[in-house]
C-alpha cells in the first residue's frame, strides 16, 4: 500500500519511541503458509535508529518450523481510535480510524544460546515491568530470582530469534487531510472519551497543531 506522504514519519527516533512504548508486536511470516503471532519484542538501536529486534516463540508454535533465514514483517501498534463524521465541522465524509504504527521488515536468525535468551528475558522484564510498578509489591523480576535450573529447563521449550532490520516505516494517520478546524474538533471529542486510546490519539492530533 502507498501511504500519503503526510502520514509517513521519517525520523528514526519516532519509530524507536513507538516501538518502546508498544512492545507487544505482530510477528508475521509467510514461509510454508502465512502465520502471525503476537509477542513482546525489543528493538536494539544503532545511532538512535532501530537495527534489530529480539524475541522468542513457544517452540511448539508451527511458525518456528523453518524459521531461520526467512523474511518477516513485524508491526507495532500505537494508539488507534474511531472518528465519527459527526465530530467534524461538517459531516460530509465517512467515518474512519486514526492510528499510529511501525512496520518493520527484516530477516530472521534463530539464536541457540541460553545466555542470549537469559539477557532477552531480563531486558524484557526490565523494560516492561516498571510500567506496572503501581500495582506491584515486588521489584522488577529477573532470571536471577527464578529457581535454580529454571531457565535451563525452559530454554528447550522456546525458539529464540532476532530480526536483522532491512526497513522501518512509521505510519501516523492523524486526520492530516482535513482542515485545522476539523482536526481540533476531532481532538476535542476524543479527549472526552472514556477510552484511553482515544484520548491518546487526541493528544497526538493536538501535538501536531500546537
For residue range 193-208, list pLDDT tens digits in order: 999 999 999 999 999 8
Question: In which domain, by residue range, is 48 found?
Answer: 5-118+159-204
For residue range 97-155, list pLDDT tens digits in order: 999 999 999 999 999 999 999 999 999 999 999 999 899 888 899 999 999 999 999 99
For residue range 20-35, list pLDDT tens digits in order: 999 999 999 999 899 9
For residue range 158-189, list pLDDT tens digits in order: 999 999 999 999 999 999 989 999 999 999 99
Residue 131 lies in a domain: no
Task: Specify whether the CB–CB gap between 168 and 118 falls below 8 A.
Answer: no
C-alpha cell at 98: 486514526
Distances (CA, A) of 189 to 88, 89, 94, 206: 9, 12, 16, 12
Residue 33 lies in a domain: yes
Residue 142 lies in a domain: no
Residue 150 lies in a domain: no
- What pLDDT is attached to residue 32? 86
Residue 37 lies in a domain: yes
Q: How many domains are there within the chain?
A: 1
pTM value > 0.85: yes
* CATH code for the domain of 190: 2.30.110.10
Residue 134 lies in a domain: no
- What pLDDT is attached to residue 139? 87
Residue 7 has pLDDT above 70, yes or no: no
Amino acid at each position: 500500500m502507498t501511504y500519503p506522504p503526510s502520514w509517513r514519519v521519517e525520523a528514526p527516533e519516532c519509530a524507536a519511541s513507538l516501538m518502546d512504548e508498544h512492545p507487544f508486536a505482530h510477528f508475521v511470516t509467510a514461509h510454508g503458509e502465512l502465520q502471525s503471532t503476537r509477542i513482546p519484542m525489543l528493538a536494539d538501536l544503532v545511532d538512535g535508529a532501530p537495527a534489530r529486534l529480539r524475541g522468542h516463540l513457544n517452540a511448539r508454535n508451527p511458525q518456528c518450523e523453518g524459521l531461520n533465514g526467512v523474511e518477516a514483517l513485524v508491526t507495532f501498534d500505537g494508539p488507534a481510535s474511531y472518528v465519527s463524521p459527526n465530530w467534524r465541522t461538517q459531516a460530509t465524509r465517512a467515518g474512519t480510524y486514526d492510528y499510529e504504527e511501525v512496520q518493520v521488515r527484516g530477516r530472521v536468525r534463530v539464536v541457540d544460546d541460553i545466555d542470549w535468551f537469559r539477557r532477552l528475558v531480563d531486558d524484557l522484564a526490565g523494560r516492561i515491568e516498571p510500567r506496572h510498578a503501581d500495582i506491584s509489591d515486588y521489584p522488577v523480576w529477573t532470571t536471577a530470582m527464578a529457581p535454580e535450573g529454571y531457565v535451563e529447563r525452559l530454554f528447550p521449550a522456546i525458539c529464540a530469534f532476532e530480526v536483522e532490520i532491512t526497513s522501518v516505516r512509521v505510519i501516523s494517520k492523524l486526520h492530516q487531510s482535513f482542515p485545522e478546524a476539523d482536526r481540533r474538533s476531532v481532538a476535542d471529542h476524543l479527549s472526552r472519551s472514556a477510552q484511553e486510546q482515544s484520548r491518546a490519539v487526541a493528544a497526538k492530533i493536538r501535538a501536531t497543531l500546537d
